[in-house]
């Protein structure tokens, strides 16, 4: 018999209510042991999607008021009987309630075990289960919308469609291989080629969108660089809306890298404010400058800050050169002061140039737009089918590779056996992606990343 699992499903923190969730065959009988309904209700008689007010008790007696919500199999999150006990939120009460249900026969749920049961009971696909994790982890509107679309099955449907076509093709192919003498009027080599090419394109489309989607979800590593005193730390603070970095009029103020994650519109930027770039004798500052150069190299986006009240110097020109071919925005700062710098020179070197006063906030919307343009991410549609993580990407990449190999076999006149082998491989990889044929280890790995109680 399957165990009945229990866990605290709300954060372990002080709050209005705290929820202990039970799932499994014994969910209602265990709930009955710890919950006393207020009215003359019987827990065992409660229908699905109903709630009852009452009290919770353990061996010491009644310790809180609670509401019991009942979900009957298969119409529940996990597909099993589910009971949710909501008591007052608070570290002590919720843990005491959990202990009470464990004493009454439940076993502690593993991380993600509720969602894993939903998957094993066929309530959701593996990609939809992953979406639940993504939804919980979402830090921006884009991430939340992308996760919701994954949860709604946008990716699953796209994968199913590709898999369906390949399965039909594999059927034709194996008939052909098994009965070569029969006339196969239904498919021609051209049609096989077309089907394979379509599947390949569809998979390639998903793979192409992966990088941009990931960047938007996890944040874009962004280095703020430039000469000492250009206003890098002031820009950091402006974007952070707080005094994150120390700002002084002393050139060489910032030494260590100061990091902060900020949300700008739909984008998450992992900002790094760095030491001003210059030749210096100060050993501490030297290390800071080295760190700054290295961070600039490893970042996906560079915000290069120039002081418009100063003429461009050698260091500025070096920086402009280093921006070539990079995803970068030249930020011409201190435009509230009389301008001395050669703006044309910057415009020639950098594709995105923004005039800003970091201390006064003027030019911030333009900076946001320039960043979006530099990243060319504005056209990523969070509602479209999108690969959500590395696991999904590698399955899709392997499937795509197999499809291309099938196409190659077909075009170079190999036997249809060879084509069939490749198509079968592609189907298997897609099954792994959506979870229909995923190995136990893969499934376990997916759910181990969840929090307990989900
Ligand atoms: N007028 C004006 N002053 C600014 C502006 N932005 C920054 N400053 C001033 O410029 C000076 C240097 O600013 P910081 O932000 O510390 O410059 P930084 O680039 O971080 O300098 P280091 O850390 O030394 O490399 C401070 O006195 C700021 O108040 C601006 O937009 N307008
Ligand atoms: Mg600074």
Last residue of a domain, one of 349, 375, 401: 375
The tally of domains found in the chain comes to: 3
State in Å: Cα 251 to ligand 2 middle. 8
Domain shared by 371 and 229, yes or no? yes
Tokens representing 448 are: 């181990």
Domain shared by 190 and 229, yes or no? no
Domain shared by 365 and 393, yes or no? no
* CATH number for the domain that contains residue 13: 3.30.1360.120
Contact of 386 with 155, CB cutoff 8 Å: yes
In a domain, 274, yes or no: yes
Residue with CA at minimum distance from ligand 1 atom 3: 334
Residue with CA at minimum distance from ligand 1 atom 9: 231
Question: In the sheet that 301-307 helps form, which strands lie side by side, from edge to edge?
Answer: 258-264, 267-273, 220-226, 301-307, 328-333, 353-355
Q: Which atom of ligand 1 is nearest to the CA of 226?
A: 19
227: nearest Cα among 314, 348, 342, 357 = 314
Q: Which atom of ligand 1 is nearest to the CA of 250?
A: 24
Tokens representing 109 are: 């749920």
**Each residue's pLDDT tens digit in the chain (454 positions)?**
489 999 999 988 888 999 999 999 999 999 999 999 987 778 999 999 999 999 999 999 999 999 999 999 999 999 999 999 999 988 899 999 999 999 999 999 998 999 999 999 999 888 888 888 888 887 777 778 888 888 888 898 999 999 999 998 988 887 777 766 665 556 788 889 999 999 999 999 999 888 777 777 778 899 999 999 999 999 999 999 999 999 999 999 999 999 999 988 778 899 999 999 999 999 999 999 999 999 999 888 999 999 999 999 999 999 999 999 888 999 999 999 999 999 999 999 998 999 999 999 999 999 999 998 888 754 567 778 888 888 899 999 999 999 999 999 999 988 888 999 999 999 999 999 988 877 787 788 888 877 777 7
Contact of 67 with 52, CB cutoff 8 Å: yes
Which residues line ligand 1 at a C-beta cut-off of 6 Å?
226, 228-234, 247-249, 251-254, 275-276, 333-334, 336-337, 357-359
Domain, as residue range, for 412:
141-214+389-438
- Angstrom distance (rounded) from CA 375 to CA 259: 20
Domain shared by 209 and 228, yes or no? no
- Cis peptide leading into residue 74 (ω within 30°): yes
Domain shared by 103 and 27, yes or no? yes
Domain shared by 181 and 240, yes or no? no
In a domain, 423, yes or no: yes
Tokens representing 311 are: 């003429």
Residue with CA at minimum distance from ligand 1 atom 16: 247
Smallest-distance ligand from the CA of 245: 2
343: nearest Cα among 294, 387, 368, 309 = 309
19-42 b/e with 16+ CB inside 10 Å = b? Answer: bbbbbbebbbbbbbbbbbbeeebe
Mutation pick for ligand 1 pocket among 233, 240, 250, 296 (CB with most ligand atoms within 8 Å):
233
State in Å: Cα 363 to ligand 2 middle. 20
In a domain, 275, yes or no: yes
Query: In this structure, what DSSP letter does residue 44 have?
Result: G
Give the DSSP H or E segment for 221: strand 220-226
Domain shared by 196 and 88, yes or no? no
Smallest-distance ligand from the CA of 232: 1
In a domain, 219, yes or no: no
Q: What's residue 378's pLDDT?
A: 45
* CATH number for the domain that contains residue 160: 1.20.120.430
Domain shared by 208 and 262, yes or no? no
* CATH number for the domain that contains residue 235: 3.40.50.300
Domain shared by 239 and 368, yes or no? yes
- Angstrom distance (rounded) from CA 242 to CA 224: 16
Domain shared by 369 and 400, yes or no? no
Q: What's residue 197's pLDDT?
A: 96
Domain shared by 399 and 283, yes or no? no
Q: Which atom of ligand 1 is nearest to the CA of 251?
A: 24
Domain shared by 251 and 317, yes or no? yes
Last residue of a domain, one of 320, 341, 375: 375
- Angstrom distance (rounded) from CA 433 to CA 394: 9
In a domain, 44, yes or no: yes
In a domain, 136, yes or no: no
Q: What's residue 184's pLDDT?
A: 56
Last residue of a domain, one of 64, 91, 109: 109
pTM: 0.65
In a domain, 344, yes or no: yes
Q: Which atom of ligand 1 is nearest to the CA of 230?
A: 19
Q: What's residue 382's pLDDT?
A: 73
In a domain, 443, yes or no: no
């Amino acid at each position: 018999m399957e165990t009945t699992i229990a866990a605290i499903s709300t954060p372990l923190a002080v709050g209005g209510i705290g929820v202990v969730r039970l799932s499994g065959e014994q969910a209602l009988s265990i709930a009955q042991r710890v919950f006393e309904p207020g009215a003359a209700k019987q827990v065992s008689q409660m229908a699905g999607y109903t709630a009852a007010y009452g009290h919770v008790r353990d061996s010491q007696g009644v310790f809180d008021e609670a509401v019991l919500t009942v979900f009957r199999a298969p119409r529940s999150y996990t597909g099993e009987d589910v009971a949710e006990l909501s008591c007052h939120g608070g570290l002590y009460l919720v843990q005491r309630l959990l202990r009470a249900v464990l004493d009454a026969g439940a076993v502690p749920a593993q991380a993600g075990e509720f969602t894993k049961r939903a998957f094993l009971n066929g309530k959701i696909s593996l990609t939809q289960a992953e979406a639940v994790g993504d939804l919980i982890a979402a830090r921006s509107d884009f991430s939340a919308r992308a996760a919701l679309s994954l949860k709604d099955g946008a990716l699953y449907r796209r994968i199913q469609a590709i898999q369906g076509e390949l399965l039909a093709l594999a059927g034709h192919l194996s008939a052909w291989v098994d009965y070569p003498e029969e006339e196969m009027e239904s498919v021609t080599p051209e049609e096989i080629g077309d089907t394979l090419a379509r599947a390949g394109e569809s998979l390639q489309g998903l793979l192409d969108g992966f990088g941009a989607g990931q960047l938007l979800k996890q944040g874009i590593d962004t280095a703020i660089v430039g000469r000492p005193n250009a206003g890098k730390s002031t820009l950091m603070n402006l974007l952070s809306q707080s005094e994150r970095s120390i700002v002084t009029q002393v050139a060489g103020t910032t030494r260590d890298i100061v990091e902060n994650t900020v949300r700008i519109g739909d984008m998450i930027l992992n900002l790094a404010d760095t030491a001003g770039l210059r030749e210096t004798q100060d050993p501490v500052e030297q290390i800071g400058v080295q760190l700054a150069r290295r961070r600039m190299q490893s970042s996906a986006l560079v915000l290069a800050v120039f002081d418009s009240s100063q003429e461009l110097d050698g260091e500025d020109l070096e920086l402009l050169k280093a921006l070539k071919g990079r995803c970068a925005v030249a930020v011409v700062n201190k435009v509230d002061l009389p301008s001395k710098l050669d703006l044309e020179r910057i415009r020639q070197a950098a594709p995105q140039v923004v005039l800003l006063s970091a201390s006064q906030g003027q030019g911030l919307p333009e900076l946001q737009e320039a960043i979006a343009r530099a990243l060319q991410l504005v056209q990523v549609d969070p509602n479209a089918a999108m690969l959500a993580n590395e696991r999904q990407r590698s399955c899709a990449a392997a499937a795509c590779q197999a499809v291309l190999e099938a196409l190659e076999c077909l075009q170079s006149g190999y036997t249809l056996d060879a084509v069939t082998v490749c198509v079968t491989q592609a189907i298997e990889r897609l099954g792994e992606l959506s979870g229909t044929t995923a190995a136990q280890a893969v499934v376990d790995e997916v759910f181990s990343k969840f929090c307990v109680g989900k």
